[in-house]
Structure 1
Amino acid sequence: MTSLPTGYAPSSYWMASAPGPSYPTLEPGWEGTAPDVEVAVVGGGIAGICTAWELARAGRRVALVESDRLAAGATGHTTAKLSALQGLAYQDIRGARGEEAARLYAASQADAVDRVRQVTAELGIDCDLEECPAFTYAEGEDTMEKVRAEAETASAAGLDASFTTETDLPFPVAGAVRVAAQAQFHPRKYLLALVEDLIARGGLVFEHSRVVNLSEGHPCRLTTERGARLRARDVVVATAYPIFDRALLFPRLEVKRELVVAAVLPSDRAPRGMYLTPEDGTRSVRTAPYRDGQRLLIVTGEKFTPGVGDVERRCARLIDWTQDRFRGAEPAFRWAAQDNWTTDHVPYVGPLHPASRHAFVATGFAGWGMTGGVLTGRLLAARLTGGPLPWEGLYDPRRLHPVREAPALLRVQATVARHFIGDRLSGDGADAIRNIPPGGGAVVRLGGRQRAVHRDDEGELHTLTARCTHLGCLVRFNNAERSWECPCHGSRFAIDGSVLQGPAVRPLKRIEDDEGGARDTGRGRQ
């Protein structure tokens, strides 16, 4: 296995190439200077931005509230495919929900792809939008039969899907599903243009404003960690993993993280289709316009539960695969993305809980958040303005099919229980601190309590409480991204304990030496 190359950016190309402007923070006292809004959208990724924009376009007064920067979470770390063909999804959906559900899913996803085309033209957005075919391919004979079945299932669902053995990949495939006229784009260029238009339509936008409480009523009230309050008739929670779980969605969501490598290729050697295979732990391939007549090859894979396994080794495997299949590809960027999978393979978009009349949620996009986010905006804007779409019921979070969902639900909960209980029973002693190398981290037992200890590149120790502030699972160290991650529900924390990704809304507490923190028992293995 090759070592990780040096001299490339450990950051998202989308973030680096479209930094975007800054927006104000929602501060205490704001409520006394402006009227209430009709809709408050919590979460500034593609689902939140598209929802806020669609509502503003429909004449509603909207506030968009983001805990960090707009389009900088999962949306800023996506592969940015706009495709109604999504791996082997149609077999999964038909098996879990039936043929009509598969048909509605295909229609709604195709509508989302078309919506991006329409809005790009309407607003004149320069977002590198390119039309191209999408493929789900197989190299091995075992997977090929599933691919052939997916072509038939997707076609029956209404997509223009066909089975083929021809692709423009530089290596042979056994077969593939092909759907024409799909698209790819630069997500931040598209979404930041929507935000600009949202503001022009009277919308309010806030960054670095973490919402920590929702009180449903007439009106609903949101409170941020700074104590600012915002009142709205309706609230949409679009925070990837919901920060509120009044619908008990947590047992029905599985969190996965995927790695991304972006490498430079000459334009004449770059494939122009969008590709995905379920083999090798999933491999997704597309290219994007780069510079000097080159294309950026974007490869995704190595799906894993946050906090589980050696992430640096996974990165090396993904780079190996990329350079083996695409000779001469020079890695330029690497990053990672995180998403949630539902137990019946269809996202949750609709009321936050069964009794909710004014609070809504969007989550569970299963790695297809670009079409899922655009669909969310269309669906919730239609619902809140009196024009429901035909697939509204398909995505309703209140659905539950105990018999069909039971195996997946039990599997998800068994995994959570294993981490919640098993991790507590295994603890490292203080001697383990000496074995933490510079740049590394581990959960160790100190004074009878579990602590998350990181040694920085200079050898200094940084100690935090090790229990996730969401529901108390023990965090684990991600050695590639240098972060603490919760394997139960995917919350992520920086080395200083601050929240990088929810559902947690409170940081891990920093532990000083005089509070039982880790004292430096050695500089680690050099």
Structure 2
Amino acid sequence: MTTRPELPGMPESYWMATAPGTRRPASETDTTADVAVIGAGMAGLSTAWELTRAGRSVVVLEADRVAAGVTGYTTAKLTAAHSLVYERLRRTRGPEGARQYARSQQAAVERIGAVAAELGVDCDFERSSALTFTTDPQHRAVFEAEAEAAAEAGLDASFVTETDLPFPVAAAVRVAHQARFHPRKYLLALADDITARGGVIHERTRVTGLTEGSPCKVTTERGTTITAKDVVVATHYPVFDRALLFARLSPRRELVVAAPLPASAAPEHMYITDDMGKRSVRTAPFDEGRRLLIVTGEDFTPGAGDSHERFLRLDAWMHAHFPVGDTAYRWAAQDNDASDTVPLVGPFHPGAHHVYVATGFGGWGMSGGAMAGQLLASLITGTEPEWAGLYDPRRLRSTVREGASLLKQQAEVARHFVGDRLKSGHVDSVAEIAPGAGAVVRVEGRRCAVYRDEGGAVHAVSARCTHLGCLVAFNEAETAWECPCHGSRFGVDGEVLHGPAVRPLPPRTL
């Protein structure tokens, strides 16, 4: 068997490695609050903080640790420049829709800067421009149109052909007055301020049930019940399917590598391109005389093959284009794309009166999460920002426009749901699985997800995702089982690593 090259760097997010945080107790008793917030990432904690500031009593329920999910593995660009979004919004939502999007996202950038200053948070908040670029001269007209649309929407945007990247570009859209920061340091400080104001945060408390009503009731895997007038579902991918939002969300993973480079050679601004399988570049403070270059790319659907080669390609690209040292960190992020580009933030479904959702940030969850916090807090306290309709999950006009995207996504889900069952297993028997590898194997008529650890011990669980029943696939580089339909991820023992699944994969005896 051919030995694959070792992956470079520590397999951990830089944000997680440099901000360990304080552990918070799990929910052990029933409790009552004005608002229950499910999820302690950017959207959940931003909402909880805005509500405690407004005088509401809040309980936050987190399945893992504060800011240790998607938010702890982001690239932490804080910007209203979301790649090539404004020309599309101008066409699909009209000039006013594009302006509302720009105003709300830029307001979120400013909000984080203001809160960090107010709380005295040392979260490496730095101002920077954000540039979307291409190396293909044939795309120049697209970028000229985007620069015009972004400027018309109210951003300080311009078309440029010169950057401080160490290679030439054919065209770029530059948006000034954006920022970058350390998201976990910021959110840990936000969590401390929430509790200082009387809010309660429970970690290691996975929510498994929601009963809507007056009041609402949230139940957890620990058997506790939180009674609240209002509930916010901010779990990245909603853990409840009653709104059928899974039909409008496409999960994807991106890989990240990071390495130090001399401060004198570090790009001053933030960059992103869809060229080369997508590449996103930013830097962060590192140590004396050096900054950390953070490069993101290699998008793929969870469960769609192993990420080992993708990590190697991304790392090779970073070393080929920048004067970096040895790779220090590597990690992966997961995002959900809304089928019509715009996040879904507001009432959970047409009949919801006290349940709200925040999802579909499409890779821009830092500004999107802060925006969601302001929007949801306003709705719950009785006001409605001008852009509430833009993000409303109940929107119908855009659902007609997004028909093609909806059909494409559901066809992909159907392909996995049916097609994966028609395939033979990756291997014919458990004996063929090498140490450190995993495969779906048919055992006595049932498909089992089987992993053999480096010591040779075999770990077997059901291969059916506990969300809606798609078959999982093994990601060897990240040692996890992944569902290609809706993005749920599981450990080799079946533990839920990432929703929407809330129940583990049941163990199987071989």
Counterpart position of 2:273: 277
One-letter amino acid matched to 2:157? A
The CA distance in 2 between the partners of 1:306 and 1:219, in whole Å, is 37
Contact 1:307–1:486 (CA under 8 A) maintained in structure 2: yes
> 1:246-257, aligned counterparts within 5 Å?
246-257=242-253
Residue 431 of structure 1 deviates from its aligned partner by 2.9
Contact 1:97–1:344 (CA under 8 A) maintained in structure 2: no
Q: Report whether the alignment pairs 1:58 with 2:54.
A: yes
Deviations 1:153-188 (A, max 9, x none): 111111110001121111111121101110000001
One-letter amino acid matched to 1:18? A
Q: Report whether the alignment pairs 1:447 with 2:448.
A: no
> 1:316-395, aligned counterparts within 5 Å?
316-395=312-391
The CA distance in 2 between the partners of 1:3 and 1:102, in whole Å, is 47
Contact 2:258–2:292 (CA under 8 A) maintained in structure 1: yes
The CA distance in 1 between the partners of 2:430 and 2:384, in whole Å, is 57
Q: Report whether the alignment pairs 1:145 with 2:134.
A: no
Report the number of matched residues. Answer: 507
Q: Report whether the alignment pairs 1:490 with 2:494.
A: no
One-letter amino acid matched to 1:336? A
The CA distance in 1 between the partners of 2:505 and 2:226, in whole Å, is 26
Residue 384 of structure 1 deviates from its aligned partner by 1.1
One-letter amino acid matched to 2:380? L
One-letter amino acid matched to 1:14? W
Structure 2 residue corresponding to 1:465, chosen from 458, 462, 465: 462
Q: What is the TM-score normalised by the length of structure 2?
A: 0.97
Contact 2:278–2:298 (CA under 8 A) maintained in structure 1: yes
Contact 2:305–2:474 (CA under 8 A) maintained in structure 1: no
Contact 1:265–1:330 (CA under 8 A) maintained in structure 2: no
Counterpart position of 2:474: 477
Instruction: Describe the SS at the equivalent of 1:209.
Output: coil
Identity %: 59
Instruction: Describe the SS at the equivalent of 1:324.
Output: helix
> 1:78-93, aligned counterparts within 5 Å?
78-93=74-89
Counterpart position of 1:122: 118
Residue 3 of structure 1 deviates from its aligned partner by 6.9
Instruction: Describe the SS at the equivalent of 1:330.
Output: coil
The CA distance in 1 between the partners of 2:185 and 2:315, in whole Å, is 27
One-letter amino acid matched to 1:25? A
Moved over 6 A (4+): none
The CA distance in 2 between the partners of 1:430 and 1:335, in whole Å, is 28
Counterpart position of 2:45: 49
The CA distance in 2 between the partners of 1:359 and 1:133, in whole Å, is 37
Contact 2:427–2:440 (CA under 8 A) maintained in structure 1: no
Out of 478-487 and 396-405, give the one that drifted further. 396-405
Contact 1:163–1:176 (CA under 8 A) maintained in structure 2: yes
Structure 1 residue corresponding to 2:414, chosen from 414, 417, 429: 417
Q: Report whether the alignment pairs 1:212 with 2:213.
A: no
Counterpart position of 1:14: 15
Instruction: Describe the SS at the equivalent of 1:290.
Output: strand
Out of 139-148 and 77-86, give the one that drifted further. 139-148
Contact 2:27–2:203 (CA under 8 A) maintained in structure 1: yes
Q: 1:101 to 1:7 in 2, by over 3 A?
A: closer
Residue 220 of structure 1 deviates from its aligned partner by 0.5
* Root-mean-square deviation (Å): 1.4
Unmatched tracts of structure 1, length 5 or more:
518-526
Residue 150 of structure 1 deviates from its aligned partner by 1.2
The CA distance in 2 between the partners of 1:256 and 1:185, in whole Å, is 23
Q: What is the TM-score normalised by the length of structure 1?
A: 0.94
